[in-house]
Amino acid sequence: MNTVLVIALILAMIATLVALVRGIIAFLQTTKEDLNAPEGSGPSPARLKQNRMMMNRILFQAGAIIIVAILLMAKGHG
């Protein structure tokens, strides 16, 4: 059981890192046109991608924290 949780934790950490890097890359690809766009025009596709990547990062981090909590609880009972 612990082995499966450790593997799941490693995968969650890798997914977090990938989502973080993709979000940073999307942020760096923001153009001057995106920054100077009028406010009423709605979010640009680049901003939507940034938000999606950062939300994925938060979800993967939450999963990793939950897995760590389960591992710690299992360690305390064993």
54: part of which helix (H) or strand (E)? helix 45-77
Distances (CA, A) of 44 to 6, 19, 36: 39, 19, 11
Q: How many residues does the chain have?
A: 78
pTM of this prediction exceeds 0.85: no
* CB within 8 Å of 2: residues ≥ 6 apart: 71, 74
The residue ranges of DSSP E strands in the chain, in sequence order, are: none
* CB within 8 Å of 39: residues ≥ 6 apart: none
pLDDT per residue of the chain (78 residues) written in tens, 0 to 9: 889 999 999 999 999 999 999 989 888 887 776 777 777 777 778 788 889 999 999 999 999 999 999 999 998 876
Tokens 């999307």 -> residue: 26
